[in-house]
Each structure stands twice: as structure tokens, then as C-alpha cells.
Amino acid sequence: MEIKPKVLPSKENFVEWYNKLLQVAEIADRRYPVKGTFVWLPYGFQIMKKIKEEWDKRFQAHGIKEVYFPLFVPLKFAKQNKKWFEGFKEELFYVYDHKKKDLKLILRPTGEPGMYSTFQNWIKDGILPIRIYQTVSSYRLEGKTTHTMIRDREITFWYEIHTVHKTKDEADAEVELHKKIIDDLWKNVLNIEPVLVEKPVYEIFPGAEAALEYYTLLPNGKLLENGSINNLGQAYAKEFDLYYFENGEKKYVWQVCTGNGARYLVAVISIHGDERGLVLPPKIAPIQIIIIPIPKKGSESKIFEKAEELKAKLSKYFKVELDYSDATPGEKFNIWDLKGVPIRIEVGLEEVKKNFVTVYRRDKKSKEKVEEKNLIKRLKQLLEKEIPEFLLEKSKKLWKEKVKWFEDYEKAKRWIEKGGVAKVNWCGSQEDYEKVKAESLEFVGFLEEEKEGKCIICKKPTKKISLLGKVY
């Protein structure tokens, strides 16, 4: 698909900006005629595969092995866990067998029913611990509102880690490991600062130990659920009969599950992107450096020869492309800005004569002249340190701009309506939770920090702190 330079809407009109950028930057085609689905376009698919490569590396480096489970799940397994089924039954896609005229299968909404029924066999085979993950599509019949990659009916590039352990201590250690892995992915790959909260007990599966949820902040002030780590305790084990025998004694296992997927890319697009288009972190950029020849009549061959020489030299260290198209240099600048390529190298007659290149940083929209002898060292410094650090600090700045402390609920609501997020004392009661939810707001859970005060809703003394806002 040929991309022409286009003017994006203002980022202040976030939804319009986001949807337009998905189209013109060749991320996704939203016009597929099934609600809650979309087509991955080549460039977006490349970026998403880069993100997957990064989580693959991290999971497998820690001994978590990749598997694949079938899309079809027997309905009887879904019903085996009554609490799970009650929570999902209105969102399930049921598979109708027209030959037998019955409904005995569903499409996978999450991995647990199909995977845990299989774990029962593996445990009997003597396999413990179990530490696996899969990257798949999951299917949920979302209500009226769907939004590409934010809330879909076909959730693509969705990973689920599922681990099974003999002891609580092993499961607790696994949770800490998952936090370490996911924190590294956010900060060192995606260059984004998320917030991690602990969910209240009524928001997790009954009997589970705890649930941790990552949230990212979008430019319109809405919080986006962006990955969870669930210490399931023995809650699912007792529903699926996952046990082993030790010295003749029956013992239930302990489990952990962690999941996320394409919402990582939503955060990258939304937080790093600007009025010109994408701004990609270097580790997930399909092209890290684009070389743009700037021809001058009579010197075209010299300029292209230098550009090709640079590509050959830099390709040993970086992901590099040379734009040979017939577009004007200005059009090329617009196109590669739109695609978010971290570095642009400009090669014109002056650069050829004086043995330097002009290096443009997409993140800062700034240029510098770099002598050829120093080029590789400077590019490594930019791609491995300066650009990631700048993007990470930019994401932290968004939190500072959007989040304010409140003790008065009405003032907090006014701030949220302006596109902000309120930081508040909250006692954690379900009654308070339901009250704000009725007003289309949400307490996201408890932050690690604490402060003595009074709950913003019921005024009971508490030192617990939450974020209150609008949530996707």
C-alpha cells in the first residue's frame, strides 16, 4: 500500500487522531465488515511482531516455554468453573454443530478452561511445575462499543502465561518474576512508565491470592487496562481438580497467570505519537534508520553512491532502509515521520563533499551534523540510550500533567471531565466502587504508596491510595 503524506487531526481529538493514524501509518484497516475486528496491515504487523519477539525472548530466557492450545473449548469445561462461566457466559461465542444440532463448543475467550483441563493430565503424568505461555487470538462478544486494539471481539496477539506449582512460595516467587519481566518490557522496550495496582478482593476470582493490573495513561486522560498478573492461589486448582500426591497425601497445586497483547502497541501509538504520526521506540521499529538521498542536478550518482555505501556500512549494526522512491525529499520526510522511524539520515551534495551526514531524531524533531568517522558510535548512543530515555521521560511527564490529588469528590469529578485523573484516598469498599461506577468512573485499585487520610467517598479513615478516572 502506497502511503501519501496526510495531515492528521489534532491529538486533542484523540479518538479521531488515533483512528486516522492507524489508517495512514499502515497499522490497521478498520473497515473489515465484522464488528470488533480489523485487518493487520504490513507495517503494523511488523511492529507487533517486534513486540512479540521481545516478550518471547524474556519469557523463554526465564524458562517459560511457548505452546499452542486449540481455539475450540468444550462447553462442559467452561461450565466446570461456575464463577468463571457466570462472568463470561454473555460474552461467549458459541459454536453450533449443524450436523448434531447442538452447542458443545465455544471459541476461546481466555485460556483457562481448555488449558486447565489439559493440565490435569500433565500433572498426572508427573509434570510439575508447569511454566508455559501461548500467543493467540481470543474471542469475546463485547457490547455496543468496540475500539480497534483497545476493545475488540477478536483479541489478536494475546499472550497468556500459565504456571502451576507445588507450593505457595513457588507461586509467589513466580508473581515477582512476572513483575520483573513485564516492568522490563514496559520501560526498556516500549519506553513507557505504567502504573501497577493491586485489585480489590471483589474484583478478582474468589479464592485467588491477588491480582495486579498495569494501567497506562492515554492523552485524553482515560486510563487503559494494560496487562494483569494473577496469583490464583488454589482457586482454580480446586475447580479443575489439579492436585498431586506427596507421601500419600493429596495436595492441590498453586497457580499464576499473566496476560496482555496488542494493547502494548495502543500505548506506544497513543503516548509517543504526535501531530506528525508515530514515534517508535528503537527496539520495536521495523526500520530504525531511513536514509534519504537529496539529489542535486549533475551530482545524483555521487549522492546515491554515498547513500548506498552508508546503508551497507550501517546495516551491520542497525535495521536500515534507503528510500529510492521518486517522491521529493519533503514528501519522503513526511512519510517516514508518519511511520515513526527513529532516525533519518540525509545525504546531499554538501554531506558528500565534507564527509558528514545530517542526522534527524524523530522523537525530538531535531537535526545534528555528524562526521562519518563518528557516525556508528553516535547512532548507537541515540538508539540505545538517548531516544529510549527521552521517550520514557515523556511518558512520565504525561502522568505529572494529568494526575492531581483530590480530597473532594465533586472537584475530582470536574477534573476528570476536563481530561484528568484524580489521585485519592479510598477505603476499598465495594459500595464506594459501585457508586463511582454508576457515574461511569472507576477506582483502578490500590497503589503501592500510602497516605493517611479519609476515603473520598465514605470519609472513613484510610491510608490506601487509588487513581479515580475514566477507564477503557
pLDDT of residue 4: 47
- CATH code given to domain 14-272: 3.30.930.10
Look up residue 121 and give its three cell numbers. 493430565
pLDDT band at 6 (very low <50, low <70, confident <90, very high): low
Containing H/E element for 232?
Answer: strand 223-233
Is residue 470 over pLDDT 90? yes
CATH 3.30.930.10 in the chain, residue ranges: 14-272
Report the distance separating Cα 416 and Cα 441, nearest Å. 9
Residues 380-416 pLDDT 10s: 999 999 999 999 999 999 999 999 999 999 999 999 9
Is residue 62 over pLDDT 70? yes
pLDDT of residue 102: 87
Is residue 283 over pLDDT 90? yes
- Side chain identity at residue 27, one-letter code: I
Report the distance separating Cα 188 and Cα 181, nearest Å. 10
| 171: DSSP letter | H
CB atoms within 10 A of CB 178: 24
Output the CA torsion sign for 184, 189, 192, 195.
negative
Whether 275 and 8 have beta carbons less than 8 Å apart is answered as yes
Report the distance separating Cα 364 and Cα 276, nearest Å. 12
Residue found under cell 500533567: 401
Output the CA torsion sign for 177, 183, 184, 186.
positive
Residue found under cell 486516522: 20
Report the distance separating Cα 130 and Cα 232, nearest Å. 14
Question: Among the listed ranges 89-98, 175-184, 384-393, 400-409, which one has the minimum average pLDDT value?
Answer: 89-98
Report the distance separating Cα 19 and Cα 9, nearest Å. 10
CATH 3.30.110.30 in the chain, residue ranges: 403-469
Whether 261 and 101 have beta carbons less than 8 Å apart is answered as no
Look up residue 134 and give its three cell numbers. 501461548
Nearest of 215, 138, 161, 117 to residue 445 by alpha carbon: 215
Q: Could you give the angle at the alpha carbon of 49 between the alpha carbons of 156 and 315, nearest 5°? A: 165
Task: Summarize the confidence of residues 142-146 as an average pLDDT.
Answer: 79
The superfamily CATH assigns to domain 403-469 is C-terminal domain of ProRS (3.30.110.30)
Percent of the chain topping pLDDT 90: 91
Output the CA torsion sign for 84, 86, 90, 92.
positive
Look up residue 427 and give its three cell numbers. 477505603
Is residue 105 over pLDDT 70? yes
Residue found under cell 487496562: 225
Fold classified for 287-382: Rossmann fold (3.40.50)
Report the distance separating Cα 211 and Cα 231, nearest Å. 6
Nearest of 399, 400, 405, 440 to residue 426 by alpha carbon: 405
Report the distance separating Cα 2 and Cα 326, nearest Å. 12
Q: Would you call 93 helix, strand, or coil by DSSP?
A: coil
Is residue 228 over pLDDT 50? yes
Question: Among the listed ranges 126-130, 203-207, 241-245, 401-405, which one has the minimum average pLDDT value?
Answer: 203-207
Is residue 298 over pLDDT 60? yes
Interior/surface letters 80-93, b for 16+ CB within 10 angstroms, e for the rest: bbeebbeebeeebe
Residues β-bridged to residue 147? 151
Is residue 1 over pLDDT 80? no
pLDDT band at 176 (very low <50, low <70, confident <90, very high): very high
